[in-house]
Structure 1
Amino acid sequence: MTRSFFRLVFPAMLALALSGCSGAGYVAQSLKGHAGIMVARQSVSKLIADPTTPEGLRAQMTSASDIRQFATDELDLPDNSSYRSYVDIGRDYVTIAVYAAPEFSLTPLVWCFPVFGCVPYRGYFSRASAVKMIRELQQEGLDVHVTGITAYSTLGWSSDPLLSTMFTQDRTYLASLVFHELAHQRVYVNNDTAFNEAFAVAVEMTGVRRWLNAAGDAAGIARYEKGLERNAEFLALVAKTKSELAGIYAGSGTADRKRSEKAAAIERLRARYRRMRDESWGGYDGYDNWVEGPVNNAKLAATSVYNDLVPAFLRLFDLCSQDYPRFYTAVARLGRIAKDDRAEALMSAGSCE
């Protein structure tokens, strides 16, 4: 299993509050897409009890119900109606995420919304709307990264359902998604996506470990830990490339020279990955699609948003004696610090208090 880099906080209900900064079309597609999903919800408990439910679906719903209860009982995540219903959306992803960054910068563009704050992506239920935005961004000379999203959160503003896209891999993948999305409902800080996503990834990782241990699934634990190890090694390759690119962009070369050196750095990333895959990973190809597809500043920046602060959150979790209520309180406290000082306070924390 390859842990997905990208999930969205996408509160479509808040689209009602969006101003002209996002456009009427964006609001309309958000409301239409989210409303369509909400109308199609089916109760998980009723699907399990219904004798006409196909056995495969009943097994999925039973697993999901157990995972959802574990999230509340053992991880102190919200006990509400989220992820207690199900929708088969009939496609491979629920939304399309669009990221953008300048040609010679690793700093992603951000879009800001009233109440919700600023995020480094735009999420679309409508493919046509996403394509229109992609073309506009590319016409401005920006690097653009586009990815399909399997799960999203409305931060508890609505009863988020389980989606068929969340069942494309094994139960561990499903658990990681549920824990991650519920974490956003537990603590969320406006205008700081890197903080929010790294926190949710930390809850996801520690939660999955606890869930697998509670089930006594030694083989599952081994697979999960191996996946995390590969993920860390891959992110180290990405970090090396980002460092090289930052040096190129800060240099005094011409635009053409920087463009050439940028392309060479990305090819070095691909070569390093293939060597690691073939020599260290025994041919494991779970990251092939990411590496062999288009790689640019937007894609590299988006990856950083979800991962750079994770080690600091895991360290804080340990400082809190792996006690989730204490951990959430500590994270919420950090969330009240001014944004410019927040990451440093997290990384330098010496205790849970």
Structure 2
Amino acid sequence: MKYRRRLLALLLFAIIGGCASPAYYLHAVSGQVELLNKRRPVEEVLSDPATTPQTRRQLELVRRLRDFASRELGLPDNRSYRTYADLERPFVVWNVFATPELSLEPKRWCFVFAGCVSYRGYFAQDEAEKFAAGLKQDGYDVYIGGVPAYSTLGWFNDPVLNTFIHRSEADLAGLLFHELAHQVVYVGGDTTFNESFATVVELEGVQRWFERHGTAPQAEAYRQKLRRREQFTVLVLKHRARLAEIYASNLGDAEKRSAKGRIFGELRNDYAALKAGWNGHADFDKWFEQDLNNAHLAAIGLYHQHVMAFQELLMQQNGDLVSFYSSAKEMMNLPKTERTMALRKLSQPVN
């Protein structure tokens, strides 16, 4: 089959190039094979008497969202998210993030096709934990995040998964639009660019979905959720900037460690105060229940650093997503330094 030839090609190139070990690539390929082998056409799952009513309702919603994505958002019209796979686990992969103890610069790993990224993914939680344990022994701050979906960047037709099928309508829409956006624009080795671009497509796509197909309460609930998410992100990035100043200062390591502990404590306190105005919503409680460290902050920055810049770019294109994609592709082809400068310029307020 076509996808098996691609997997063999991927494995061959992996063995002769890239900085990950052949054992890691074998793990990745076997995980991808499992995922692809478990796919079933959505139509087949819908007609299966064993499919639960809840799953059937969600898959019908996915079909409408998938058609909307291509018809109204200009996202790829292909077989991605037109099949379904039940992996019988809560996440498809677990990503490992790592930073030095006194730095917010994430460790990077390079892979064939995907380029260099600031995390390393595993299809098995125990494998991720084993790898993370080794990094901790080497003195790194480490964070393991379960991931409900990922994009193969158009190499394969990505399926809908049990790991996200039962999410709310807004979350399901956002996830599909985000992952399809990676098939439009993706730069190997520039995670912040890729994730910020896809996040803007996600936000704009969900807003347009509710404008056309949602109810007023749904749209308002989504806007409130976005406001909470933005407030959380601003809060975390504020403390992240404080830590960056501490780490870049002339303080001794002991003083930096002390300041680090103090700032994380203040972050928790500030979140408690912020949440008090959320009418009982506790969107990020699980994040704060963890033993927070630099790696948690690095992960947040990766997804949101250039969101404002891309939103400004979309506004400059008068909300035309196809033109927005073209502009992003032009930026994608710039050297990384020039690309980053262009994004920073977009983020600057107009006098």
Q: TM-score range by the shorter chain?
A: over 0.9
- Asked if 2 retains the 8 angstrom alpha-carbon contact of 1:183 and 1:200, the reply is yes
Q: Cα offset for 1:29?
A: 1.2
**Counterpart Cα distance in 2 of 1:12 and 1:142:** 32
- Superposed counterparts of 1:69-218, under 5 Å: 69-218=67-216
Q: How does 1:46-57 map to 2 (within 5 A)?
A: 46-51=44-49, 53-57=51-55
What is the deviation of 1:190? 1.5
Secondary structure at 2:183 match in 1: helix
Partners of 1:21 and 1:115 lie apart in 2 by: 12
Give the secondary structure class of the aligned counterpart of 1:141. coil
Among candidates 334, 338, 346, match of residue 337 of structure 1: 334
Q: Report the CA distance between 1:188 and its aligned residue.
A: 0.9
Matched, 1:290 2:287: yes
Number of residue equivalences: 339
Q: Partner amino acid for 2:175?
A: L
Q: Distance in 2 between matches of 1:146 and 1:332?
A: 31
1:312 to 309, 314, 337: 309
Match of 2:319 in 1: 322
Return the match for 2:296 from 299, 305, 313: 299
Superposed CA deviations along residues 132-184 of structure 1, whole A, max 9, x for unmatched, are 21121111101101011000110010110000111232111111111000000
Quote the RMSD (CA, aligned, Å). Answer: 1.7
Are residue 273 (structure 1) and residue 258 (structure 2) matched? no
Maintained 8 Å contact 1:83/1:162? yes
**TM-score normalised to the size of structure 1?**
0.92
* One of 343, 346, 349 as aligned partner of 1:346: 343
Residues 96, 12 of structure 1: alpha-carbon distance in 2 compared, 3 angstrom cutoff: farther
Q: CA deviation at 1:346?
A: 2.6
Q: Per-residue deviation at 1:257?
A: 1.7
With over 3 angstroms needed to count, the CA separation of the structure-2 counterparts of 1:252 and 1:206, relative to structure 1, is: same
For 1:258, give the aligned amino acid: K
Q: CA deviation at 1:51?
A: 4.9
Does the 8 Å CA contact 2:18/2:112 hold for their aligned counterparts? no
1:151 & 1:206 partners in 2: Cα distance? 19
- Cα distance, 1:12 vs. partner? 7.5
Partner of 2:3: none
Contact 1:95/1:148, CA 8 A, preserved across alignment: yes
Per the alignment, residue 7 of structure 1 pairs with: none
Which segments of structure 1 move beyond 6 Å, counting only runs of 4 or more?
Answer: none
Which fold has the larger relative contact order, with Cα–Cα distance below 8 Å and residues 6 or more apart in sequence?
1
- 3-state SS in 2 of match to 1:186: coil
Point out the more displaced range, 306-315 or 244-253.
244-253
The alpha carbon displacement at 1:55 in A equals 2.3
CA contact (8 A) 2:95 2:121 kept: yes
1 CA distance for matches of 2:181 and 2:307?
Answer: 14
Give the AA of the match of 1:339.
Answer: K
Q: Which moved more, 1:320-329 or 1:127-136?
A: 127-136
TM-score, scaled relative to structure 2: 0.92
Are 1:83 and 1:159, in contact at CA under 8 Å, matched by a contact in 2?
Answer: yes
Which amino acid letter does the alignment assign opposite residue 91 of structure 1? Answer: R
Q: Which amino acid aligns with 1:338?
A: P
Identity %: 40
1:189-232: CA deviations, max 9, x gaps? 12111000000000000000000111142111101111111111
**Cα separation, 1, equivalents of 2:223 and 2:301:** 21
Q: Which moved more, 1:103-112 or 1:18-27?
A: 18-27
Asked if structure 2 preserves the Cα contact closer than 8 Å seen for 1:100 and 1:109, the reply is yes
Counterpart of 1:65? 63
Select which of 10, 13, 18 maps to 1:17: 13
**Structure 2 CA distance for partners of 1:326 and 1:217, relative to 1, 3 Å:** same
CA contact (8 A) 2:86 2:162 kept: yes
In 1: Cα distance, 2:225 partner to 2:240 partner: 22
5+ residue gaps in structure 2? 1-5
Distance 1:263 1:330, change over 3 A: same
